[in-house]
Amino acid sequence: MGNRVCDALGIEYPVIQGAMAWTSMAPLVGAVSKAGGLGTLGSGFMPPEIILAQMAEVRKITDKPFASNLFIDPTPMLEPCVGAILEGKPAVAYIDSLNLLEYDFTKKYYDKFHEAGIKVVAKVNYLEDALVAAKAGADVIITKGFEGGGHVTKVSARVLLAEVVEALPDIPVVASGGIATPRQAAGLTVQGADGIEMGSAFMATQECPIHPNCKEAVVKATDRDIVAAGQSTGEPSWQIRNSLAEELIKLEADLPWSEAADKIREISQGSLRIASLEGDVDRGGVMCGQVAGLIHDIPPVEDRVVKFCKEWEELLKKQYSLF
């Protein structure tokens, strides 16, 4: 029968590893792509020379397709990031946005990638964004729901997927947000998803180059341990509750939001690094989505791609009946 995501991106399994800033570095990306999924460099905040060096590292691991991330918002980061992707030519540009998509602006960048032979995967937070992305020529759309790791979005994963599948039957759609099990993936297939994306679940893998303490923190966390910090900045993110997250939440409760936002930016500066590289999971920021309670182990990446898809397909082959 074939799979529309695999066909569009030239991959074997319809599993995308979501971009994760300073987390989805070459060892993870290369391992996911080598296993047959789509690995994505968390390159949205990286200087161009690091993006190009990371792409070279991925290519030492595999010659299969991989993606590089950018945020299509009019910020000073955009042009250098686009330039590095056009120069490094990964198979796919994986495009997120912090604001609503504007058609002319979006089309201009999608066209640049397409002219360079690079496919466009658009990660959307609203149906409106999906419609703009499709009209501008996106090859694949990822619907990222509220519960997904990274920046907190607004619409639930279940609703957003259903909206996009209904409105855009001709474009491959990848469900994202809160996924860690083949049973969830099977349910999402029935709901119209052609593939799935996971971020948090890939943090807990042997090849992910973050500190072991971070991986253990993800495995230990339950749904009650995941909090949204940074509401006042307009860009809240899901984090594992620790003394840093408690401090950020208290600041927002105690101070007017404009003051809290400034303080939060100051305190959060470098906090990802403190957790991911130095392993201080109490004072560093451990970003992880609500799905933490379903992540129980730290397997090799291949299990999260190949074994996962085999179980997913087995579940779909079972005869289900309501009556």
* 37 binds ligand FMN, rule: CB under 6 A: no
Give me the sheet containing 15-17, strands edge to edge: 15-17, 195-198, 173-176, 140-144, 119-124, 92-96, 66-71, 39-41
In sequence order, what are the residues at sequence separation of 6 or more whose Cβ sits closer than 8 angstroms to the Cβ of residue 319? none
Q: How far is the CB of 235 from ligand FMN (least distance, A)?
A: 11
Taking the C-alpha atoms of residue 133 and residue 72, their distance in angstroms, rounded to an integer, is 11
* Residue 144 binds ligand FMN (CB under 6 A): yes
The helix-helix angle for 182-190 and 308-317 (nearest 10°) equals: 50
Q: Which residues pair with 121 in a beta bridge?
A: 94, 140
Q: Is 125 in the site for ligand FMN (CB under 6 A)?
A: no
Minimum distance, C-beta of residue 319 to ligand FMN, in the bound complex (Å): 29
225 binds ligand FMN (CB under 6 A): no
- The residue (of 255 and 277) whose beta carbon lies closer to ligand FMN is 277
Question: Does the footprint of ligand FMN cover residue 150 (CB under 6 A)?
Answer: yes
> Which CA distances in Å does 171 have to 37, 79, 90, 182, 194?
19, 27, 21, 23, 9
* Cβ at position 22, least distance to ligand FMN in Å: 8
Number of chain residues interacting with ligand FMN (CB under 6 A): 27
Q: Which is nearer to ligand FMN, 160 or 198 (CB)?
A: 198
Q: Does residue 217 touch ligand FMN according to CB under 6 A?
A: no
Residue from the set 149, 172, 195, 230 that interacts with ligand FMN by CB under 6 A: 149
Helices 48-61, 26-35: axis angle to 10 degrees equals 40
For residues 185 to 214, the per-residue mask of contacts with ligand FMN, x marking binding by CB under 6 A and - elsewhere, is: ------------xxxxx-------------
Binding-residue pattern over the window 62 to 81 for ligand FMN, x denoting contact by CB under 6 A = -------x------------
Rule CB under 6 A: say whether 304 interacts with ligand FMN. no
Are the C-beta atoms of 201 and 270 separated by less than 8 Å? no
**38 close to 32: Cβ distance less than 8 angstroms:** yes
Residue 77 CB, nearest approach to ligand FMN (Å): 11
User: Of the two residues 18 and 37, which places its CB atom closer to ligand FMN in the complex?
Assistant: 18
- Are 181 and 200 spatial neighbours (Cβ–Cβ below 8 Å)? no
What is the rounded distance in angstroms from the CA atom of residue 56 to the CA atom of residue 59? Answer: 5
Minimal distance, residue 24 CB to ligand FMN, in Å: 8
Binding status of residue 285 toward ligand FMN by CB under 6 A: no
Q: From the CB of 110, what's the least distance to ligand FMN, in Å?
A: 16
Q: Is 115 within 8 Å of 85 (Cβ atoms)?
A: no
Distance CA 267, CA 210 (A): 21
For 208, counting Cβ atoms within 10 Å of its Cβ (0-12 exposed, 13-18 middle, 19+ buried), the class is: buried
Q: Which is nearer to ligand FMN, 216 or 322 (CB)?
A: 216
> Among residues 36 and 149, whose Cβ is nearest to ligand FMN?
149
Q: Does the footprint of ligand FMN cover residue 39 (CB under 6 A)?
A: no
Residue 237 beta carbon to ligand FMN: minimum distance, rounded to whole angstroms: 8
Residue spans of beta strands (DSSP E) within the chain: 15-17, 39-41, 66-71, 92-96, 119-124, 140-144, 173-176, 195-198, 226-229, 237-240
Chain residues in the site for ligand FMN (CB under 6 A): 18-21, 23, 42, 44, 69, 96, 123, 144, 148-150, 176-179, 197-201, 287-289, 291
